[in-house]
Amino acid sequence: MKKISQSDQVKDTMKQNGGFATLGFLYNNVDVSNWETKTPFASIRRIVQVNDSFFKIKPGLWGLTEKKGEIVARFGISEKKSEKAEIFNHSYYQGLVVEIGNLKGFSTFIPNQDKNKKYLNQTLKEISSMESIYEFTYPEIVNRGKNS
């Protein structure tokens, strides 16, 4: 039986996700149980950074070079800075923060005005774990947290 390379495992996982993935997604979905390394996450980062089969879309988001045209078109990415690009960046980074919180086992909340904004191929509401924020302190402060 032929052993599949680490790079091919990362590629296969990305292909199953539509040709792109965040590092967090790769950390959770690449089977590293047979990798002979103490730092599999560092190995995944190295693979996507140095292998020509991958390209950087945004910080923390990588794609397969063979699907670059399709991915760039899907997300409407251009070389020029535009208002649309800034909106993409805000919801993208907001989604990354939620994804990191989820990976760490925290409860994550998205304010109502942002719940329908896109994060990759889903809405921010779909990746957050809480429908409403905890009543953790004075009402004025909780209201500020709900709308920030």
Contacts of 148 (CB under 8 A, 6+ apart): 111
Domains of the chain: 6-75 (1.10.10.10), 83-146 (no CATH)
Distances (CA, A) of 93 to 30, 111, 122: 23, 14, 14
User: Both tokens of residue 72?
Assistant: 């760039």
pLDDT digits (tens, 9 = 90+) for 54-72: 999 888 899 999 999 998 8
Treating both helix axes as pointing N-terminal to C-terminal, what angle do 40-50 and 6-16 enclose, rounded to 10 degrees? 80
pLDDT at 122 over 90: no
User: Both tokens of residue 62?
Assistant: 């990588």
Per-residue pLDDT averaged across 22-43, rounded? 92
CB of 37 within 8 A of CB of 23?
Answer: no
CB count in 10 Å sphere of residue 120: 22
Note the pLDDT of residue 81: 52
pTM of the model: 0.62
